[in-house]
């Protein structure tokens, strides 16, 4: 079942075209990695899919309905979004911040329900935050804060999770734990779209990758079908050793491609 679909989606930021005719379809039960170089448009795409940016053209359809016509409250119950910027405006404790994920499910000023409590507790446990429940979020480490903001999104219990570089700043154990969480959500029929700079995480944990470059989708498919040395050279300008083991692909960037190296040399010239 298609959870979210875009047709010819175009987005401009401050008048500058950033996304160009994006056609994509995310299925229920998929964990999809959004990859591409800096400035490719990944954050812009995730924000647009979350309904946080005006579109310049095309459509975004959520469960068969145009996203633009969905009231904000209904949208927040169906789409959870983890931003790349990890900022918290107040010095709340961890539990309170995770609890904010339940607001879309409650009428204004309504008390917390047992369902809210269960979702908050589950999200805290999933992100290994039980020991930090009472800690102030403005005194956490970068990785701890990242886990809190992911937990807030998990507490939202939405069918679609959009996460912008959720693994950045997490240590390897927490990265793998996070990938396991995303896989579990997909296994339960949810849809996860996460931008990832770690190509090995994308290659080994995602059902599918969408490769964005210059505001356009340049490739999509199963990691094994898409992530080869040629694509990595053309999209990232790197040379990479690509291998396989029973867990999937292994990608080791070994240097800049000849084109990138020449460009870097010319930039160095006075
Ligand atoms: N407010 C803005 N006005 C104009 N251009 C912008 C604005 N914000 C971002 N951009 C540009 O849009 C392009 C896409 O940015 P975006 O943040 O979506 O890329 P990204 O793929 O997420 O990059 P990264 O991997 O570095 O996070 C970039 O070229 C960026 O400079």
- Cβ of 85 closer than 6 Å to ligand 1, yes or no, is no
- Cβ of 38 closer than 6 Å to ligand 1, yes or no, is yes
Using alpha carbons only, what angle is made at residue 227 by residues 197 and 207, rounded to the nearest 5 degrees? 75
Average pLDDT over residues 60-70: 93
Tell me the best of 10, 22, 43, 84 to mutate to test the pocket of ligand 1, counting ligand atoms within 8 Å of each CB and taking the most.
43
pLDDT reported for residue 220: 98
Residue 10: φ, ψ to 5°: -125, 135
Q: Which atom of ligand 1 is nearest to the CA of 40?
A: 21
Tell me the best of 44, 164, 167 to mutate to test the pocket of ligand 1, counting ligand atoms within 8 Å of each CB and taking the most.
44
pLDDT digits (tens, 9 = 90+) for 133-171: 999 999 999 999 999 999 999 999 999 999 999 999 999
Give the pairing of strands 16-27 and 31-35: unpaired
- With pLDDT > 90 as the criterion, what percentage of the chain qualifies? 87
- Cβ of 156 closer than 6 Å to ligand 1, yes or no, is no
Tell me the best of 13, 84, 162, 193 to mutate to test the pocket of ligand 1, counting ligand atoms within 8 Å of each CB and taking the most.
13
Q: In this structure, what token pair is assigned to residue 39?
A: 């400035």
Which domains are delineated in the chain?
2-227 (3.40.50.300), 228-270 (no CATH)
CB 194 within 8 A of CB 182: yes
The widest CA-to-CA distance across the chain, in whole angstroms, is 65
Alpha carbon distance 237, 258 (integer Å): 8
Q: In this structure, what token pair is assigned to residue 178?
A: 């996070």
Contacts of 1 (CB under 8 A, 6+ apart): 27, 28
Separation of CA 110 from chain center? 30
Residue 24 DSSP SS3: strand
State the pLDDT confidence band at 126, using cuts at 50, 70 and 90: very high
- Cβ of 222 closer than 6 Å to ligand 1, yes or no, is no
- Is the complex ipTM more than 0.85? yes
Contacts of 107 (CB under 8 A, 6+ apart): none
Alpha carbon distance 196, 252 (integer Å): 15
């Amino acid at each position: 079942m298609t959870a979210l679909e875009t047709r010819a989606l175009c987005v401009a930021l401050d008048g500058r075209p950033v996304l160009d005719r994006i056609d994509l379809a995310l299925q229920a039960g998929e964990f999809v990695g959004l990859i591409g170089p800096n400035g490719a448009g990944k954050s812009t795409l995730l924000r647009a899919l979350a309904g946080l940016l005006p579109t310049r053209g095309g459509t975004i359809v959520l469960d068969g309905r145009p996203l633009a016509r969905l009231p904000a409250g209904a949208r927040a119950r169906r789409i959870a979004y983890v931003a790349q910027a990890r900022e918290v405006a107040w010095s709340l404790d961890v539990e309170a911040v995770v609890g904010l994920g339940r607001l879309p499910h409650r009428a204004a000023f309504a008390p917390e329900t047992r369902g809210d409590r269960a979702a908050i507790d589950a999200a805290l446990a999933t992100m290994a935050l039980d020991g930090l429940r009472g800690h102030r979020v403005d005194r956490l480490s970068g990785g701890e804060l990242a886990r809190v903001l992911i937990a807030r999104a998990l507490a939202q219990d939405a069918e679609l999770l959009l996460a912008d570089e959720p693994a950045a700043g997490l240590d390897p154990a927490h990265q793998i734990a996070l990938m396991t969480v995303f896989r579990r959500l997909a296994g339960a029929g949810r849809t996860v779209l996460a931008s990832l700079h770690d190509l090995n995480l994308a290659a080994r944990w995602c059902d599918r990758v969408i490769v964005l470059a210059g505001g356009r989708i340049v490739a999509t498919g199963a990691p094994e079908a898409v992530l080869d040395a040629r694509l990595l050279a053309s999209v990232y300008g790197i040379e990479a050793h690509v291998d396989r083991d029973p867990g999937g692909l292994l990608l080791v960037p070994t240097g800049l491609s000849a084109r990138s190296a020449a460009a870097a040399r010319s930039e160095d010239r006075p």
